[in-house]
Amino acid sequence: MRGRRLPLRYTAVVKTHHAPLFTSRTLSFLRALKRNNDRAWFAAHREDYQRYVQQPLLDFVDLMATELKSLAPELAASPKASLFRIYRDTRFSSDKRPFKTQVGVLFPNRDLHRNQSACLYVEIGPDGCMIFGGIYRPDRPELLAIREHVAHTHRRLTALVEAPAFKRIVGAIEGQPLRRVPTGYPPAHPAAEYLKFRHFLLGKEYPAAFATAPGFLREILSLFRHMAPVVRYLNEPLLAAQRARDPLQDHAERRAPKRVSRTL
């Protein structure tokens, strides 16, 4: 029925990692939305969105809230911290299509605003899915803080990303490097390659159908387990900088950054 809203539940999910939360109906909806990206079509298919996309996302966040307690307790998993609106912000874009055709789930540090945190991330779309970690296109203050941290603690980063298990399961860390080492660091610095990075990303991409496979949740947990220490490392200077700015202010009361949110 047009415009009717189904009641959404946010309840505990049984820990059966082989049971897919996302189904072929999830992908079918996203593919149909890509072909019919307009408000009238979405309004007519809102129930499908709620049943096959929104509810599985809520269930996934609920599951990860349990898993992260042991895997990375400093990361937040809640609808407010982890989910994005499906509506696109078209105010400053020539592309006026109203809806995103992919859905993402973010797990940021609970003491940082999610736009200023390295995080773990899952995205599902009609053309593929991804399991990623790190920080994408950080603003200049965050990037400079991370670079300085890397310059002084690069042996720790190298030990994390060069570990055989990490390379086998996750792969290489990527950063869209600059052509030269940034000003202020010697060209022969031991961490020169990392200092050139504009962002710090790690993870894998998969065909869209993998999101509906029995092994999808197992793969997420496997990659998250290996990426979480790197995410934790990247957040160390960001947390330190925030404490220096707001030594007496509770993290829950800190102001959100004045910029549009973006996913990994």
Is 176 part of a structural domain of the chain? yes
The torsion defined by the Cα of 54, 13, 19 and 102, in degrees rounded to 10, comes to: 20
What's the whole-model pTM score?
Answer: 0.86
Q: What is the pLDDT of residue 132?
A: 98
Is 13 part of a structural domain of the chain? no
Is 62 part of a structural domain of the chain? yes
Which residue, 219, 225, 211, is CA-closest to 56?
211
Is 180 part of a structural domain of the chain? yes
Is 109 part of a structural domain of the chain? yes
Q: What stretches in the chain show pLDDT beneath 70?
A: 1-19, 248-264
Range of the domain at 62: 24-247
The tens digit of pLDDT for each residue in 136-159 reads 999 999 999 999 999 999 999 999
Q: Is 263 exposed, middle or buried (0-12, 13-18, 19+ CB in 10 A)?
A: middle
Cα 35 from Cα 33, distance rounded (Å) = 5
- Kindly state the DSSP code that residue 141 receives in the 8-state scheme: H
Looking at this protein, which amino acid is placed at residue 72? A
**Count of the separate structural domains present in the chain:** 1
Is 240 part of a structural domain of the chain? yes
The tens digit of pLDDT for each residue in 170-218 reads 999 999 999 999 999 999 999 999 999 999 999 999 999 999 999 999 9
Cα 58 from Cα 35, distance rounded (Å) = 25
Is 260 part of a structural domain of the chain? no
Q: What is the pLDDT of residue 200?
A: 98
CATH of the domain at 107: 3.30.930
Is 254 part of a structural domain of the chain? no
Which residue, 104, 23, 24, 21, is CA-closest to 63?
21
